């Protein structure tokens, strides 16, 4: 019975504008609803992490490292993973986590893009602790891409960012079912906003969001899934603070000039609190959520500020090495 409307060009378009008008009318109620939800979430009980077991991939630096410390302070046992490298700080991270209050820390070297290695570190965690409560799929890379790069050099972005989360999830699910545990997946605001030169990175993060949103229907409410869509976080600062020899310090000053950033420590505190409360999405800094809405509702405005924030030299392929 609707075909007549959808087949007519005028009425087909009209439906969308009627929807926008309705949105305008209900938006005061949506606003109040959002506020009430926020206040309620402040009073929601946080999971007691004492003696629980948390597996974190990519914990040798950055936000993964900081999340390990945050869980350690709450008394959780940790299994932390990073790739084997001569300069790896994983062992120092384990020592520091023990100092901060973790009863037991197991560190294992493994490449998340290799399915057998993922099976091994999930099994290793169960062997040591007998259970798993939180799986934090954090490991990720962000190489910039432009059209004059060799496209085959970017296959590993999908292997690490996408498959590197999916493999450990697959092996952890039976154990998480037993503990009614949680899965945390490190997507990114880039997975929604698609900034220039981040094509493969954004695609891998968008794939994560889609995959885990779909998985949620299958495993919830037994397992809760939290999807992180963080903006740009200054991870170099924390790495510098905790590392004794300065290894692992990565300055990305160029990004700081163009994008509003948040410090890593308050971000990670908000993230771990949100996970303990069972949040389904966590976006920090919060204003990113406004950008998500703008992206979908006012695409022209989105285009405008992206052009403004990323000067055209960043998008000129001739000037890339």
Ligand X SMILES: [C]C(=O)[N][C]1[C]([O])[C]([O])[C]([C][O])O[C]1O1[C]([C]OP(=O)([O-])OP([O])(=O)O[C][C]2O[C](N3[C]=NC4=C3N=[C]N=C4[N])[C](OP([O])([O])=O)[C]2[O])[C]([O])[C]([O])[C]1[N+]1=[C][C]=[C]C(C([N])=O)=[C]1
Ligand Y SMILES: *[C@@H]1O[C@H](CO)[C@@H](O)[C@H](O)[C@H]1NC(C)=O
Closer residue to ligand Y in complex, CB, 46/250? 46
Q: Which stretch binds ligand Y (CB under 6 A): 45-53, 102-110, 224-232, 268-276?
A: 45-53
- Report in angstroms how near the CB of residue 175 gets to ligand Y at its nearest: 19
Which residues are part of the catalytic machinery?
Answer: 201
Q: Is residue 183 within 8 Å of 223, Cβ to Cβ?
A: yes
Q: What angle do CA 235, 309, 156 make, to 5 degrees?
A: 50
- Residue ranges with strand state E in the chain: 53-57, 77-82, 105-109, 134-137, 182-186, 224-228, 233-234, 262-263, 281-282
Q: Which two tokens stand for residue 112?
A: 């998340």
Neighbours of 100 (CB within 10 A): 16
CA–CA separation, 120 vs 220, rounded Å? 26
Measured distance CA(276)–CA(265) in Å, rounded: 17
CA distance 14 to 91: 61
**Closest distance between ligand Y and the C-beta of residue 101, in Å?**
13
Collapsed DSSP state (helix, strand, coil) of residue 33: helix
Residues that bind ligand X (CB under 6 A): 57-64, 81-83, 85, 88, 111-113, 138-142, 160, 164, 186, 188, 228, 230, 232-233, 235
Smaller CB separation from ligand X, 108 or 178: 108
| Residue 51 contacts ligand Y per CB under 6 A | yes
Q: Which does 228 bind (CB under 5 to 8 A by kind): ligand Y, ligand X, none?
A: ligand X
Q: Which region, judged by CB under 6 A, interacts with ligand Y, from 5-13, 22-30, 47-55, 210-218?
A: 47-55
Please identify, using beta-carbon distances, which residue of 48 and 303 lies nearer to ligand Y.
48
C-beta closer to ligand Y: residue 13 or 50:
50
The DSSP symbol for 282 reads E
Q: Are 63 and 79 in contact (CB under 8 A)?
A: no
The entry of ligand Y, ligand X, none near residue 165 (CB within 5 to 8 angstroms by kind) is: none
Selected range binding ligand Y among 17-25, 46-54, 205-213, 251-259, rule: CB under 6 A: 46-54
Q: Binding ligand Y by CB under 6 A: which of 11, 12, 50, 220? A: 50
What is the number of the residue whose Cβ is closest to ligand X? 62
- Residue 103 as a binder of ligand Y (CB under 6 A): the answer is no
3-state helix, strand, coil in the chain (%, to 5): 60, 10, 30
CB 78 within 8 A of CB 97: yes
Q: Does 48 bind ligand Y (CB under 6 A)?
A: yes
Is 210 a binder of ligand Y (CB under 6 A)?
A: no
Residue numbers at the binding site for ligand Y (CB under 6 A):
48, 50-51
């Amino acid at each position: 019975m609707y075909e007549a409307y959808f087949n007519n060009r005028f009425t087909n378009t009209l439906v969308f504008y009627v929807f926008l008008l309705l949105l305008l009318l209900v938006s005061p109620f949506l606003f109040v609803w959002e506020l009430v939800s926020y206040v309620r979430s402040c009073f929601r009980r946080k999971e007691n992490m004492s003696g629980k077991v948390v597996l974190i991939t990519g914990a040798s630096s950055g936000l993964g490292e900081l999340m390990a410390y945050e869980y350690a302070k709450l008394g959780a046992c940790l299994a932390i993973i990073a790739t084997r490298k001569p300069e790896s700080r994983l062992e120092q991270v384990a020592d520091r986590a023990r100092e901060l209050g973790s009863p037991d820390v197991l560190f294992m070297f493994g490449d998340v893009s290799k399915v057998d290695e993922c099976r091994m570190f999930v099994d290793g965690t169960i062997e040591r602790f007998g259970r798993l409560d939180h799986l934090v799929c954090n490991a990720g890379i962000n190489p910039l891409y432009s059209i004059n790069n060799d496209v085959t050099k970017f296959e590993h972005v999908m292997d690490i960012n996408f498959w590197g989360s999916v493999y450990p999830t697959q092996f952890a699910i039976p154990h998480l079912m037993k503990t009614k545990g949680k899965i945390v997946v490190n997507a990114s605001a880039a997975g929604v906003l698609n900034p220039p030169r981040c094509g493969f990175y954004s695609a891998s993060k968008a794939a994560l969001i889609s995959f885990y949103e779909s998985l949620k229907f299958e495993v919830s409410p037994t397992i809760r899934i939290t999807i992180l869509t963080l903006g740009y976080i200054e991870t170099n600062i924390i790495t510098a603070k905790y590392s004794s020899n300065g290894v692992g310090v990565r300055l990305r000053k160029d990004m700081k000039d163009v994008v509003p950033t948040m410090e890593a420590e308050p971000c990670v505190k908000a993230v771990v609190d949100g996970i303990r409360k069972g949040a389904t999405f966590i976006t920090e800094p919060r204003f990113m959520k406004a950008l998500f809405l703008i992206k979908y509702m006012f695409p022209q405005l989105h285009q405008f500020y992206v052009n403004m924030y990323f000067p055209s030299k960043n998008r000129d392929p001739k000037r890339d090495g």
